[in-house]
Amino acid sequence: MNHNWHGTLIRHLLMLVTVSLLAGLISGHYGGCLAIGLGLYLAWTLKQLLRLHEWLRHHKPDEPPPDGYGLWGEVFDSIYHLQRRDQRVRGRLQAVIDRVQESTAALKDAVIMLDSDGNLEWWNRAAETLLGLKTPQDSGQPVTNLVRHPRFKEYFEHANYAEPLEIPSPVNDRLRIQMLITRYGNNEHLMLVRDVTRMHQLEQMRKDFVANVSHELRTPLTVICGYLETLLDNVEEVNPRWVRALQQMHQQGGRMQTLLNDLLLLAKLEATDYPSDNQPVAVSALLQSITNDAQALSGSKNQHITLELESDVSLKGSEAELRSAFSNLIFNAVKYTPAEGKIRIRWWSDGRGAHLSVQDSGIGIDSKHIPRLTERFYRVDSSRASNTGGTGLGLAIVKHVLLRHRAALEINSVPGKGSVFICNFAPNQMTKP
């Protein structure tokens, strides 16, 4: 309805003034009648205003406004329509929110929203089963107070969420959960948590299988190698036609033993997240001893091996594991560098942590192989590896040892010119001897 209320209002006022003036004409009191007329109008207007106020304050939902007259009736109705429209919009929004909440509640994966300080804002039902969050007590609590695993705290504070994190569930040790954090909006966090127990069990079975097979093969292989050694020790009693075959069998047996040892070491490294001992390891002495071994391995190749110890910091961790990682890098440099080549080993520390670099002037590695070098059995050229007697597990061991010591491996190489392998240890891994 499109009514010209402006005109109507003026008409009403004119009528009121006319009636008042007429009454004034009859009674002879123009001023008094006009004042009474306007006063009555004002009183009526105030009454309507009070009714509106009363209705706005006390009306129940859906209760229509009181009947109003003229312009006031129109005002009452307009407000009522506005309210109804508002209610309908709110109802529709609530329905959308309910549907979103219902669907996230039905999700098997946990969805958790955290504010920019890492405090819990909202979570779905699965978060209660997987992480043990309690509604509503835990709302506003820092997530690191509720998920207390040290790896989670480190992961959350480090704020590098490129890779997901896998830890046991805080409510049930047998459940294995995977967490993925994404930042959105104003540095708020969205955390997704999945139950990966089944995948973890399969992975565990694979690791156990490899460890068991390696372990079971070790004894028969030791026996075979032992007999071969005895036969070769008494070579004059052996038919000369078999000597070369025996030597090759002995050599390949040795390779298999190194392979099994590497597989067992990898299995051991994978079994836990941290090294079993966390003693200060004197890196300088360790590198000195490995360099002497490298010199012996280099033998007649006459390579120029230098060791530059620019820092005397020690590392927290396991000496055996670090020895294995560093010697793999240094022996690789010896293996993949031709005679008369240069190998430079450097140990230094700065504001970003402690660093070991092993640089060689060897054959180098094509950049396309670099991202895959630390995979088990990955070889740039299989014929080349069999010449050097490598197992293909060396860099996989290096990667695992470094991961356990909170370090990262950096590889730079130019084919034909040489390679640099750098181990970067975080400052909190350094310690004084």
Contacts of 138 (CB under 8 A, 6+ apart): 120, 146
By beta-carbon proximity to ligand ADP, the closer residue of 223 and 414 is 414
| Minimal distance, residue 429 CB to ligand ADP, in Å | 23
Chosen residue from 395, 402, 409, 423 binding ligand ADP by CB under 6 A: 395
Selected from 254, 392, 403, 426, the binder of ligand ADP by CB under 6 A is 392
Check residue 336 for interaction with ligand ADP (CB under 6 A).
yes
Q: How far is the CB of 198 from ligand ADP (least distance, A)?
A: 30
For residue 202, the minimal CB distance to ligand ADP (Å) is 25
Q: Give how many residues touch ligand ADP by CB under 6 A.
A: 22
Minimum distance, C-beta of residue 279 to ligand ADP, in the bound complex (Å): 26
If binding is defined by CB under 6 A, does position 263 make contact with ligand ADP? no
Please report how close the Cβ of residue 250 comes to ligand ADP at its closest, in angstroms: 20
| From candidates 114, 305, 363, 409, binder to ligand ADP by CB under 6 A | 363
Choice between 357 and 419, CB closer to ligand ADP: 419
Residue nearest to ligand ADP (CB): 390
Q: Print the binding letters for residues 372-391 with ligand ADP: x by CB under 6 A, - otherwise.
A: -x----xxx----x----xx
Quote the least distance from Cβ 379 to ligand ADP, whole Å. Answer: 4
Residue 326 is a binding residue for ligand ADP (CB under 6 A): no
Residue 365 engages ligand ADP in binding (rule: CB under 6 A): yes
Q: Which is nearer to ligand ADP, 127 or 329 (CB)?
A: 329
Q: Is 362 in the site for ligand ADP (CB under 6 A)?
A: yes
359 touches ligand ADP (CB under 6 A): no
Q: Are 394 and 262 in contact (CB under 8 A)?
A: yes
Q: Write each residue from 400 to 419 as x if it is in contact with ligand ADP (CB under 6 A), else as -, in one continuous string.
A: -------------------x
Q: Does 344 bind ligand ADP (CB under 6 A)?
A: no
Q: Where along the sequence are the contacts to ligand ADP (CB under 6 A)?
A: 328, 332-333, 336, 360, 362-365, 373, 378-380, 385, 390-396, 419
